[in-house]
């Protein structure tokens, strides 16, 4: 899950990271008022959308005082950035920038631990730096048990800066690590961390992404979810307790268990097809869940066939078959449905399906190949 810059800044503040003050406005008049409350000096008006590169897209603008802040907010509110409409702007005091640094902590799967990345090439697209000038990024692996040690932070900071600036930066790195750990993040980033001509250090941008599996113990943050982050179908699926990711193919998938769902998608690819989605209906055979799942999948006009791949264990196959038949009755579905059910009570399930227009398949290979053939307009 992602959160907005102003929310990430709030979490950073709690750790003691120096973040300029500021408030969020939904109207130009509010933006003007905030600029006035901040002392009437120069401010930055920043679109709050869940994508990077807002600056380049024209979604971050300097304004010289409250009146200009109102005009700037008027221009930015309603703007579309990478498909997302701006409904809120952060109004924050403008800082003079002498230097821009990059600080980020991400989960590094190959090292099996978080890493701190530090660079003097801040303010720009860090992926671009990583590609064109990887030597400009200092990488510091973090022991997940010991955490980021202060000496490691100093080493990294003095690699890109010096004196008081480096010392402040080292303290911020440890605070960034504390934030990362406390909120179950898988990315926490300050780009840029700036040094002012007077030698002050400020985090003027903030980004945190979360591990969704940690959200159960982060109720405050879970409540910050902005539905604009995902396609509407994914939000609807989440609300129904389904784990769903939309893809570009033509074979809709309904599978129980995330591992089997992944394997099903792999097999579709293997036989030359393309899955239209990832969908784990979980352990339950409830017709309601199946109806919701079918409804979401068939709304995608690309879907030309649907494949059920169910392994019955504690969930009994005949229960699932009843669920599918019931769902089939309630939902008006024009595309063919292939069903593979194995495990507990599979014979009963097969008998139930024999009386329907659902296409049974005995093995996973057969089910996948049949679904691909049907999706391409072939016969069962
Ligand atoms: P992003 O483009 O979405 O990463 O948004 P940022 O918050 O990083 O802002 C983009 C750029 O705007 C920064 O790299 C700065 O160059 C500029 N900027 C943002 N805040 C300030 C500020 O307070 N003062 C000045 N001078 N420039 C700023
Ligand atoms: Mn930035």
Chain-centroid distance, C-alpha 136: 27
- Structure tokens that stand for 19 in this block: 């973040």
Contacts for 213-221: CB closer than 8 Å, 24+ residues apart: 213/184, 214/183, 214/184, 215/1, 215/184, 217/184, 218/183, 218/184, 221/1, 221/3, 221/11, 221/183
Q: Which residues touch 281 (CB under 8 Å, ≥6 apart)?
A: 242, 254, 255, 256, 289, 290, 293
Q: Is residue 8 domain-resident? A: no
Q: Is residue 294 domain-resident? A: yes
Q: Are residues 67 and 192 in the same domain?
A: no
Which of 93, 122, 149 is the last residue in one of the domains? 93
Q: How confident is the model at residue 380 (pLDDT cuts 50, 70, 90)?
A: confident
How many angstroms is it from 295 CA to the middle of ligand 1?
Answer: 43
Q: Are residues 85 and 117 in the same domain?
A: no
**Region 116-128: what's the mean pLDDT?**
91
pLDDT number for residue 289: 83
Question: β-strands 337-343, 305-312: how paired?
Answer: parallel
Q: Are residues 151 and 49 in the same domain?
A: no
pLDDT number for residue 125: 83
Q: Nearest residue CA, atom 6 of ligand 1?
A: 205
CATH assignment at residue 367? 3.40.50.261
pLDDT number for residue 116: 98
For the Cβ of 197 lying below 6 angstroms from any atom of ligand 1, the answer is no
Q: Are residues 146 and 207 in the same domain?
A: yes
Q: How many CA atoms lie within 13 A of 14 on its CB side?
A: 11
Q: Which ligand is nearest to the CA of 57?
A: 1
Q: Which of 6, 42, 55 to mutate to test the pocket of ligand 1 (most atoms within 8 A of CB)?
A: 55
Tally helices (H) and strands (E) across the chain: 13, 18
Q: Are residues 185 and 73 in the same domain?
A: no
Q: Are residues 278 and 297 in the same domain?
A: yes
Which of 174, 202, 222 is the last residue in one of the domains? 222
- Structure tokens that stand for 68 in this block: 């200009």
pLDDT number for residue 355: 87
Q: Percentage of residues in the chain with pLDDT exceeding 90?
A: 78
Which of 222, 252, 283 is the last residue in one of the domains? 222
Q: Is residue 112 domain-resident? A: yes
- pLDDT of 204 > 70? The answer is yes
For the Cβ of 4 lying below 6 angstroms from any atom of ligand 1, the answer is no
**Region 191-203: what's the mean pLDDT?**
97
> What residues make up the domain containing 144?
99-222
Q: Is residue 68 domain-resident? A: yes
- pLDDT of 5 > 90? The answer is yes
pLDDT number for residue 152: 98
Q: Which residues touch 107 (CB under 8 Å, ≥6 apart)?
A: 113, 114, 186, 187
For the Cβ of 249 lying below 6 angstroms from any atom of ligand 1, the answer is no
Q: Is residue 6 domain-resident? A: no
Q: Are residues 216 and 255 in the same domain?
A: no
**Region 305-312: what's the mean pLDDT?**
94
Ligand 1 nearest atom to the CA of residue 123, by list position: 14
Mean pLDDT for all residues in the chain:
94
Residue 157, sorted as left (phi over 0), alpha (psi -120 to 50) or beta, turns out to be alpha
Q: Nearest residue CA, atom 9 of ligand 1?
A: 55
Q: Which ligand is nearest to the CA of 60?
A: 1
Number of domains in the chain: 3
Q: Are residues 329 and 207 in the same domain?
A: no
pLDDT number for residue 378: 84
How many angstroms is it from 25 CA to the middle of ligand 1?
Answer: 18
Q: Are residues 186 and 171 in the same domain?
A: yes
pLDDT number for residue 375: 96
pLDDT number for residue 320: 83
- CA angle 55/61/63 to nearest 5° reads 165
- Structure tokens that stand for 313 in this block: 């264990």
Q: Is residue 7 domain-resident? A: no
Q: Which of 43, 58, 97, 200 to mutate to test the pocket of ligand 1 (most atoms within 8 A of CB)?
A: 97
Q: How confident is the model at residue 287 (pLDDT cuts 50, 70, 90)?
A: confident
Q: Nearest residue CA, atom 8 of ligand 1?
A: 205
Q: Is residue 200 domain-resident? A: yes
How many angstroms is it from 20 CA to the middle of ligand 2?
Answer: 14
- pLDDT of 117 > 70? The answer is yes
For the Cβ of 44 lying below 6 angstroms from any atom of ligand 1, the answer is yes
Placement of tokens 């590094």 in the chain: 108
Ligand 1 nearest atom to the CA of residue 100, by list position: 14
For the Cβ of 123 lying below 6 angstroms from any atom of ligand 1, the answer is yes
Q: Percentage of residues in the chain with pLDDT exceeding 70?
A: 99
Q: How confident is the model at residue 105 (pLDDT cuts 50, 70, 90)?
A: very high
Who wins on pLDDT, 317 or 182?
Answer: 182
User: What is the number of other CB atoms lying within 10 angstroms of the CB of residue 40?
Assistant: 12
**Region 128-141: what's the mean pLDDT?**
93
Helix, coil or strand: residue 341: strand
For the Cβ of 54 lying below 6 angstroms from any atom of ligand 1, the answer is yes
* Active-site residue list: 102, 189
CATH assignment at residue 162? 3.30.470.20
Q: Which residues touch 239 (CB under 8 Å, ≥6 apart)?
A: none
Q: Are residues 87 and 136 in the same domain?
A: no
CATH assignment at residue 47? 3.30.1490.20
Condensed to tens digits (0 to 9), the pLDDT of residues 12-57 reads 999 999 999 999 999 999 999 999 999 999 999 999 999 989 999 9
Q: Is residue 9 domain-resident? A: no
Q: What phi and psi, each to the nearest 5 degrees, are found at residue 3?
A: -130, 170
pLDDT number for residue 321: 87
pLDDT number for residue 284: 64
pTM of the model: 0.82
Three-state SS string over 246-296 comes to: ECCCCEEEEECCHHHHHHHHHHHHHCCCCECEEEECCCCCCHHHHHHHHHH
Q: How confident is the model at residue 319 (pLDDT cuts 50, 70, 90)?
A: confident
**Region 343-359: what's the mean pLDDT?**
91
For the Cβ of 55 lying below 6 angstroms from any atom of ligand 1, the answer is yes
pLDDT number for residue 285: 61
Ligand 1 nearest atom to the CA of residue 5, by list position: 7
For the Cβ of 147 lying below 6 angstroms from any atom of ligand 1, the answer is no
Condensed to tens digits (0 to 9), the pLDDT of residues 224-281 reads 999 888 888 888 898 888 889 999 999 999 999 999 999 999 999 999 999 999 999 8
Contact of 207 with 189, CB cutoff 8 Å: yes
Q: How confident is the model at residue 369 (pLDDT cuts 50, 70, 90)?
A: very high
Q: Are residues 66 and 164 in the same domain?
A: no
Ligand 1 nearest atom to the CA of residue 95, by list position: 23
Q: Are residues 257 and 348 in the same domain?
A: yes
User: What is the number of other CB atoms lying within 10 angstroms of the CB of residue 152?
Assistant: 20
Ligand 1 nearest atom to the CA of residue 51, by list position: 3
């Amino acid at each position: 899950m992602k959160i907005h810059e102003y929310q990430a800044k709030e979490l950073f503040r709690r750790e003691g990271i120096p973040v300029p003050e500021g408030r969020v406005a939904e109207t130009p008049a509010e933006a003007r008022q905030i600029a006035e409350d901040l002392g009437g000096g120069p401010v930055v008006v920043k679109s709050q959308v869940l994508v990077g590169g807002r600056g380049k897209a024209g979604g971050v603008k300097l304004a010289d005082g409250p009146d200009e802040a109102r005009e700037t907010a008027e221009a930015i509110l309603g703007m579309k950035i990478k498909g997302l409409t701006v409904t809120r702007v952060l109004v924050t005091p403008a800082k003079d920038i002498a230097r821009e640094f990059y600080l980020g902590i991400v989960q590094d799967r190959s090292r099996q631990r978080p890493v701190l990345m530090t660079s003097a090439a801040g303010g720009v697209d860090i992926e671009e730096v990583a590609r064109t000038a990887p030597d400009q990024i200092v990488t510091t692996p973090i022991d997940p048990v010991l955490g980021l040690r202060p000496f490691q932070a100093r080493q990294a900071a003095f690699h890109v800066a010096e004196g008081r600036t480096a010392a402040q930066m080292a303290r911020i790195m440890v605070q960034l690590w504390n934030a990362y750990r406390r909120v179950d993040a898988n990315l926490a980033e300050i780009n840029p961390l700036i040094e002012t001509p007077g030698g002050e250090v400020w985090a003027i941008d903030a980004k945190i992404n979360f591990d969704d599996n940690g959200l159960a113990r982060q109720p405050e943050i879970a409540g910050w979810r902005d539905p604009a982050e995902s396609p509407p179908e994914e939000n609807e699926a989440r609300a129904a307790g389904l784990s769903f990711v939309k893809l570009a193919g033509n074979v809709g998938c309904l599978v129980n268990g995330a591992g089997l769902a992944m394997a099903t998608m792999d097999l579709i690819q293997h036989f030359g097809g393309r899955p239209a989605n990832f969908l784990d209906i979980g352990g339950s055979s409830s017709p309601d869940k199946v109806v919701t799942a079918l409804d979401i999948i068939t709304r995608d006009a690309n879907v030309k066939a649907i494949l059920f791949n169910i392994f019955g264990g504690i969930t009994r196959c005949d229960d699932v078959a009843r669920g599918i038949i019931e769902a089939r009755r309630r939902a008006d579905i024009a595309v063919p449905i292939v069903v593979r059910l194995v495990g507990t009570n599979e014979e009963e399930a097969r008998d139930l399906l024999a009386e329907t227009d659902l296409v049974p398949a005995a093995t996973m290979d057969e089910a996948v190949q049949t679904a691909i053939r049907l999706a391409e307009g072939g016969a069962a």
